[in-house]
Amino acid sequence: MTNSKKVGKAIVTGRRDRPIRVGVIGVGRGQSFASGATDLVGMKLVALCDSWGEKLEEAGKRYNVATYTDYDKFLEHDMDAVVLANYFHEHTPFALKALAAGKHVMSECISNVTLAEGVALCRAVEKSGKVYMLAENYPYTRFNMEMRRLYRSGEIGKVTYAEGEYNHPMQPDEMSAISVGLKHWRNWIPSTYYCTHALAPLMYITDTMPVAVNGLSITSPEVTDVLPRYTDPGSVILCRMDNGAVFRIFGLWLPGHSNWYRVHGSKGAMEVLRGAGYFGSEQVRVWHEAWDCPAGTEKDRTYKPDWPENAELANKAGHGGGDFWTNFEFASAIRSKTQPYLDVYRGVAMSSVGILAWKSALKDGAPFVVPDFRKESSRKAFENDHWSPFPDHAGPGQPPPSIRGFIRPKPAAIAHARKVWAKQGYKGK
């Protein structure tokens, strides 16, 4: 017999119940996953991997687990699953190796940075039979989970239009401190690529998939010239969804912090109220037209929702509780032997929205179709599409990371950033 008890939906495992053994790659952002891999979600951290030896050693001592600087050796460790919290543009190659090694995979907030990677990843998950999950935590805030519940109740009808915003400016020195080196991915990322924090909650709430995109990039030398960046600071993406609805997606690091979501349906609308906090007010507003208000329902109501379950655990986690829920959903999928909601097809689709929106932005908003990655007949045409703006992928036909072309950061911005990097012990370019 196992010694376990339920806390809401979570399972607290006893000593006789074998936990899911997890290894994490990346000891920066990855430590959120490492610290959350506990018996409260039926997981046990057993190994860490990173190329930064000093930080890896510190983290290994903190968690008392094995450490590796060689990813292939890391995969030989006795474990069931791998969490990828390495650099943004590197996830797919690491995921493919982990799946081939028989590990379940949870990947940080993008699945693929080329369409070819998206095709390869879908095929690899299908071949392996392993669980794959995109670790997109923004759907799992209390207000987005509440809006999903409301939508599924049918109160606002079918979605017609929705808006999602993830715009996260930072103080210049803080931004340089997390973007170490001129070739760091944050210094090259096109303005449309980091779209999952804005798009994923809307997909999660409405159970829709993107089928076409238009993208426009926003330039602002006043914002970018103080940093060693080759990119634009913001974008707007229009997504046509598979039910005909249109979603507007806005971000990335223009002044004016905003994490915000709104959904209009055929019978009403709902949104998280804006506010000064990291996630706004965290209050949900639901409203209806007077002539179309369901009987016994307020025409306009605003309230702060509670968690559907596991409130105590979620309140202790980062990113509005999302860091608890991603580990929980991943563990639940492995134990039930079913793919999670944020499976490989949704992960690749929303990641590919960012890629295709950048192709659109470079053509001043021309439309691009999003392939159906669930179907080999639809995705096969993109199996050799390696189009990428990142310097690691440099080659013939490489696109620029800005609609202004291949721009050169200001010498003063580079010099200042190097001073910030030197304080962290970085000696590269």
Give the pLDDT band of residue 11 (cuts 50, 70, 90).
very low
* Domain residue ranges in the chain: 138-393
Give the pLDDT band of residue 10 (cuts 50, 70, 90).
very low
Evaluate if residue 321 carries a pLDDT over 90: no
The 3-class SS string of 83-128 reads: EECCCHHHHHHHHHHHHHCCCEEEECCCCCCCHHHHHHHHHHHHHH
pLDDT at res. 251: 96
* Chain segment 280-316, per-residue pLDDT in tens: 889 999 999 999 998 989 999 999 999 888 888 878 7
CA pair distance 180, 178, nearest whole angstrom: 6
pLDDT at res. 277: 76
Place of tokens 């409301």: 150
Angle at 324 between CA 174 and CA 127, to 5 degrees: 100
Sequence-ordered alpha helix ranges (H) in 234-321: 311-315
CA pair distance 16, 19, nearest whole angstrom: 9
Q: What is the mean pLDDT of residues 41-60?
A: 91
* Chain segment 83-115, per-residue pLDDT in tens: 999 999 999 999 999 999 999 999 998 999 999
pLDDT at res. 1: 28
pLDDT at res. 24: 95
Instruction: Identify the CATH assignment for 138-393 out of 3.30.360.10, 1.10.3720.10, 1.10.150.120, 3.10.20.70.
Output: 3.30.360.10
Q: How far apart are the first and last CA of the chain?
A: 58
Cβ neighbours of 87 (radius 10 Å) = 18
* Chain segment 138-196, per-residue pLDDT in tens: 999 999 999 999 999 999 999 999 999 999 999 999 999 999 999 999 999 999 999 99
